[in-house]
Structure 1
Protein backbone atom coordinates (compact mmCIF):
# COMPACT_ATOMS: atom_id res chain seq x y z
CA UNK A 1 0.00 0.00 0.00
CA UNK A 2 1.11 3.52 -0.68
CA UNK A 3 1.57 5.91 2.20
CA UNK A 4 0.43 9.48 1.94
CA UNK A 5 2.62 11.83 3.93
CA UNK A 6 0.73 14.88 5.15
CA UNK A 7 2.94 17.86 5.99
CA UNK A 8 2.38 19.32 9.43
CA UNK A 9 3.03 22.98 10.10
CA UNK A 10 4.79 23.01 13.47
CA UNK A 11 5.36 26.78 13.37
CA UNK A 12 1.64 27.59 13.69
CA UNK A 13 -0.08 28.03 17.01
CA UNK A 14 -2.97 25.83 18.02
CA UNK A 15 -6.15 27.89 18.38
CA UNK A 16 -7.56 26.85 21.74
CA UNK A 17 -9.98 29.63 22.71
CA UNK A 18 -13.07 30.16 20.53
CA UNK A 19 -11.05 28.70 17.61
CA UNK A 20 -9.58 32.15 16.89
CA UNK A 21 -7.16 32.76 19.78
CA UNK A 22 -4.19 30.81 20.98
CA UNK A 23 -3.49 31.01 24.69
CA UNK A 24 -0.70 33.52 24.10
CA UNK A 25 -2.91 35.73 21.94
CA UNK A 26 -5.77 35.54 24.42
CA UNK A 27 -3.54 36.59 27.32
CA UNK A 28 -2.15 39.49 25.29
CA UNK A 29 -5.54 40.80 24.14
CA UNK A 30 -8.18 39.96 26.76
CA UNK A 31 -6.82 41.44 30.06
CA UNK A 32 -5.73 44.81 28.60
CA UNK A 33 -8.94 44.89 26.56
CA UNK A 34 -11.12 44.46 29.64
CA UNK A 35 -9.17 47.06 31.65
CA UNK A 36 -9.15 49.63 28.84
CA UNK A 37 -12.86 49.03 28.11
CA UNK A 38 -13.71 49.60 31.79
CA UNK A 39 -11.63 52.79 31.74
CA UNK A 40 -13.35 53.89 28.53
CA UNK A 41 -16.85 53.38 29.90
CA UNK A 42 -16.55 54.31 33.58
CA UNK A 43 -13.24 56.13 33.99
CA UNK A 44 -12.64 59.82 34.01
CA UNK A 45 -9.66 62.10 33.75
CA UNK A 46 -9.71 64.87 36.37
CA UNK A 47 -9.98 68.56 35.43
CA UNK A 48 -11.11 67.85 31.84
CA UNK A 49 -14.67 68.51 30.59
CA UNK A 50 -16.78 65.41 29.75
CA UNK A 51 -16.61 65.39 25.92
CA UNK A 52 -12.86 65.95 25.53
CA UNK A 53 -12.37 63.46 28.36
CA UNK A 54 -14.36 60.82 26.45
CA UNK A 55 -12.41 61.37 23.24
CA UNK A 56 -9.07 61.16 25.08
CA UNK A 57 -10.19 57.90 26.69
CA UNK A 58 -11.38 56.62 23.29
CA UNK A 59 -8.01 57.50 21.75
CA UNK A 60 -6.19 55.68 24.59
CA UNK A 61 -8.47 52.65 24.09
CA UNK A 62 -7.75 52.49 20.35
CA UNK A 63 -3.99 52.89 20.87
CA UNK A 64 -3.93 50.22 23.61
CA UNK A 65 -5.94 47.69 21.63
CA UNK A 66 -4.00 48.39 18.43
CA UNK A 67 -0.74 47.79 20.26
CA UNK A 68 -2.00 44.56 21.84
CA UNK A 69 -3.34 43.21 18.54
CA UNK A 70 0.00 43.98 16.86
CA UNK A 71 1.89 42.23 19.66
CA UNK A 72 -0.39 39.20 19.39
CA UNK A 73 -0.68 38.74 15.63
CA UNK A 74 2.28 40.38 13.83
CA UNK A 75 4.92 37.80 12.97
CA UNK A 76 8.39 38.91 11.91
CA UNK A 77 9.47 36.31 9.35
CA UNK A 78 13.02 37.65 9.27
CA UNK A 79 13.51 36.68 12.93
CA UNK A 80 10.91 33.89 12.98
CA UNK A 81 9.29 35.43 16.05
CA UNK A 82 6.11 37.22 16.94
CA UNK A 83 6.45 40.90 17.74
CA UNK A 84 6.07 40.40 21.51
CA UNK A 85 8.83 37.74 21.54
CA UNK A 86 11.07 40.02 19.47
CA UNK A 87 10.61 42.91 21.90
CA UNK A 88 11.38 40.69 24.89
CA UNK A 89 14.49 39.33 23.15
CA UNK A 90 15.71 42.84 22.32
CA UNK A 91 15.02 44.03 25.87
CA UNK A 92 17.01 41.14 27.38
CA UNK A 93 19.87 41.73 24.95
CA UNK A 94 20.08 45.45 25.75
CA UNK A 95 20.00 44.81 29.51
CA UNK A 96 22.50 41.91 29.47
CA UNK A 97 26.12 42.16 30.52
CA UNK A 98 28.38 42.62 27.52
CA UNK A 99 32.08 41.88 27.24
CA UNK A 100 34.05 44.13 24.96
CA UNK A 101 37.41 43.00 23.66
CA UNK A 102 40.12 44.98 21.95
CA UNK A 103 41.26 43.65 18.59
Structure 2
Protein backbone atom coordinates (compact mmCIF):
# COMPACT_ATOMS: atom_id res chain seq x y z
CA UNK A 1 0.00 0.00 0.00
CA UNK A 2 1.43 3.39 -0.99
CA UNK A 3 1.35 5.92 1.84
CA UNK A 4 2.31 9.55 2.42
CA UNK A 5 3.09 10.88 5.89
CA UNK A 6 1.81 14.34 6.85
CA UNK A 7 4.04 15.69 9.61
CA UNK A 8 7.54 14.52 10.44
CA UNK A 9 7.45 15.07 14.18
CA UNK A 10 8.06 12.24 16.65
CA UNK A 11 5.20 10.03 15.40
CA UNK A 12 5.83 10.66 11.69
CA UNK A 13 9.53 9.84 12.00
CA UNK A 14 8.83 6.66 13.98
CA UNK A 15 6.18 5.56 11.47
CA UNK A 16 8.64 6.11 8.62
CA UNK A 17 11.42 4.20 10.40
CA UNK A 18 9.08 1.31 11.10
CA UNK A 19 7.72 1.18 7.55
CA UNK A 20 11.23 1.29 6.07
CA UNK A 21 12.30 -1.69 8.17
CA UNK A 22 14.24 -0.02 10.99
CA UNK A 23 11.86 -1.65 13.48
CA UNK A 24 11.97 -5.43 13.40
CA UNK A 25 9.04 -7.75 14.11
CA UNK A 26 9.60 -11.14 15.67
CA UNK A 27 9.60 -14.04 13.24
CA UNK A 28 6.46 -15.67 14.67
CA UNK A 29 4.40 -12.45 14.30
CA UNK A 30 1.76 -13.18 11.61
CA UNK A 31 2.13 -9.57 10.42
CA UNK A 32 5.92 -9.79 10.04
CA UNK A 33 5.68 -9.50 6.25
CA UNK A 34 3.31 -6.54 6.19
CA UNK A 35 4.91 -3.47 4.66
CA UNK A 36 3.79 0.03 3.82
CA UNK A 37 5.37 1.69 0.80
CA UNK A 38 6.10 5.25 1.95
CA UNK A 39 6.25 7.41 -1.17
CA UNK A 40 5.95 10.97 0.19
CA UNK A 41 6.34 13.10 3.29
CA UNK A 42 4.96 16.54 4.07
CA UNK A 43 6.56 18.76 6.73
CA UNK A 44 5.98 22.49 7.02
CA UNK A 45 9.14 23.36 8.96
CA UNK A 46 12.78 22.63 8.25
CA UNK A 47 12.66 21.71 4.58
CA UNK A 48 13.94 18.48 3.06
CA UNK A 49 17.45 18.99 4.46
CA UNK A 50 16.25 19.53 8.03
CA UNK A 51 13.86 16.59 7.83
CA UNK A 52 16.61 14.30 6.50
CA UNK A 53 18.88 15.35 9.38
CA UNK A 54 16.20 14.69 12.00
CA UNK A 55 15.55 11.26 10.49
CA UNK A 56 19.24 10.35 10.59
CA UNK A 57 19.98 11.67 14.10
CA UNK A 58 17.16 11.00 16.55
CA UNK A 59 17.92 11.97 20.15
CA UNK A 60 15.60 9.29 21.58
CA UNK A 61 15.80 6.42 19.06
CA UNK A 62 19.47 6.90 18.24
CA UNK A 63 21.14 7.18 14.89
CA UNK A 64 19.37 5.45 12.00
CA UNK A 65 22.00 3.36 10.23
CA UNK A 66 20.81 4.24 6.76
CA UNK A 67 22.09 6.50 4.01
CA UNK A 68 19.75 9.50 4.38
CA UNK A 69 20.01 12.76 2.44
CA UNK A 70 17.91 15.44 0.81
CA UNK A 71 18.69 15.11 -2.90
CA UNK A 72 16.72 18.29 -3.67
CA UNK A 73 14.18 20.55 -1.97
CA UNK A 74 11.41 18.21 -3.12
CA UNK A 75 12.88 14.79 -2.32
CA UNK A 76 14.62 12.77 0.38
CA UNK A 77 16.59 9.58 -0.32
CA UNK A 78 16.78 6.77 2.22
CA UNK A 79 19.08 3.92 1.20
CA UNK A 80 18.43 4.75 -2.45
CA UNK A 81 14.64 5.00 -2.14
CA UNK A 82 13.37 8.41 -3.22
CA UNK A 83 10.54 9.96 -1.20
CA UNK A 84 8.74 13.01 -2.52
CA UNK A 85 8.92 15.94 -0.09
CA UNK A 86 6.48 18.82 0.28
CA UNK A 87 5.89 21.62 2.79
CA UNK A 88 2.17 22.41 2.54
CA UNK A 89 0.46 23.88 5.61
CA UNK A 90 -2.98 22.87 4.31
CA UNK A 91 -3.34 19.08 3.89
CA UNK A 92 -5.76 19.67 1.01
CA UNK A 93 -2.81 21.11 -0.98
CA UNK A 94 -0.67 17.98 -0.69
CA UNK A 95 -0.46 16.30 -4.13
Q: Same fold (TM over 0.5)?
A: no
Structure with greater proportional helix content: 1
Structure with the bigger RCO (C-alpha within 8 Å, sep 6+) is 2
Structure with greater proportional strand content: 2
Structure number, greater radius of gyration = 1
TM-score, length basis structure 2: 0.25
TM-score, length basis structure 1: 0.24
